[in-house]
Amino acid sequence: MDCEKISQTLCEFIQHKVKDSGLNGVVLGLSGGIDSALVATLCKKALGENVFVLLMPTKFSNQENLNDALKLCQELNLKYKIIEIQDILEAFLKQSENTDELSRGNFAARIRMSLLYDYSALKKALVVGTSNKSELLLGYGTIYGDLAYAFNPIGELYKSEIYELARYLNLNKKFIQKAPSADLWIGQSDEKDLGFSYELIDKGLKALENQDMKVLENLDKKLLDMLQSRIKNNAFKRNMPEIASLNK
C-alpha cells in the first residue's frame, strides 16, 4: 500500500469536501480508538485549525481511551470539548423496555450523533465519519449513530490498512497496540463480538471482493459464513433508504 499517496489523496479529499460545502471545517467524535485518531490526524493535516473534536464518554467508557484521546488533542493542538452523556443515557434507560448492553450502546452512539450534528451547526462544520471498510461491509456500527456523517475519508480502507497508514503517520503506538473496541460497554471488543481477528476478517473480505477462489476455498467455513451473512443482512446500513417507485 502506497501510504504517502493515500495520505495525500485523503487530505485532498477532506479539503475538497469542506471547500465544496462552503462551511468552516469539520467536527468529529474522538473515542480514543485508532480509527477516530487516524481521521483526526488526517483532518489536522488537511485543514489545520479548522478541526473541532467532541469527547463524549459514559460511565462505561474506558478511562484509558479517554486519556489517549485527550493526549492526541493536545499533541495535535485540536480544539475539543468533553460532553458527559451519562445523564442523557440514563434518562433513556428509565423509559426504554430494552436496556440490554447492545441497546444501551446503540443509544449512546445515537446520542453522540445528535451532539455532533448540533455542534456542527454551531460551528458551521461538516460531521466527518470514522468507520473503516471492514466495519462498513459487516454492518458493524449503529445506523443513525456512528454511521451517520457528511463524508468519510477512511471508508475504503480495511482495518488492517488503517494500522498501516497509522504507522506511516506516526500515530502513538498506544492506538496501534490496543484491542479494537467500540467502547459500548465495559470489556467490549470488536474481535470478541465478531468472533475472529481483523487479520482473518480482512483476508476473507478481500478474497470475497476480488473473488479469489484459492483463498476462499481454504478459508475457515465459520468465518466465510459469518462474512457472507453479515454483508448480506447489513446491506441496508450501507444504502440510502429505498423509496417506492409508483411509475406515474
Question: For the segment 15-37, what is each residue's pLDDT rounded down to a tens digit?
Answer: 999 999 999 999 999 999 999 99
Q: Which domains does the chain have, with CATH numbers?
A: 3-184 (3.40.50.620)
32 annotated to a ligand binding site = yes
pLDDT surpassing 80 at residue 83: yes
Q: Is 131 annotated as a binding residue?
A: no
Residue 76 has a pLDDT of: 97
Sorting pLDDT into bands at 50, 70 and 90, what band is 49? very high
Helix, coil or strand: residue 200: helix
Known binder of ligand: residue 142? no
34 is in an annotated binding site: yes
Check residue 173 and give its pLDDT: 93
> Is 118 annotated to bind ligand?
no
230 annotated to a ligand binding site: no
Report whether 220 belongs to an annotated binding site.
no
Res 180: pLDDT: 85
Residue 36, marked binder:
yes
Asked if residues 70 and 53 have their Cβ atoms less than 8 Å apart, the reply is no
Q: What is the mean pLDDT of the chain?
A: 94
Determine the pLDDT at residue 99. 79
Chain-centre distance for alpha carbon 214: 31
Per-residue pLDDT tens digits for 189-248: 888 889 999 999 999 999 999 999 999 999 999 999 999 999 999 999 999 898 999 988
Query: Mean pLDDT over residues 59-76, rounded?
Result: 94
Amino acid in the structure at residue 213: M
Q: Does 103 belong to an annotated binding site?
A: no
Give the mean model confidence (pLDDT) for residues 93-100. 85
pLDDT at 19 (0 to 100): 98
Consult the annotation and say whether 9 binds a ligand. Answer: no
The answer to whether 123 is a known ligand-binding residue is no
Q: Residue 81: pLDDT band by 50, 70, 90 thresholds?
A: very high
Gap between the Cα atoms of 76 and 53, Å rounded = 11
Helix ranges (DSSP H) in the chain: 3-21, 34-47, 63-76, 86-95, 101-123, 133-138, 159-168, 173-177, 190-194, 198-210, 213-217, 221-233, 235-238
Global pTM exceeds 0.85: yes
pLDDT cut 70: percent of the chain above it: 100
* One-letter amino acid of 17: K
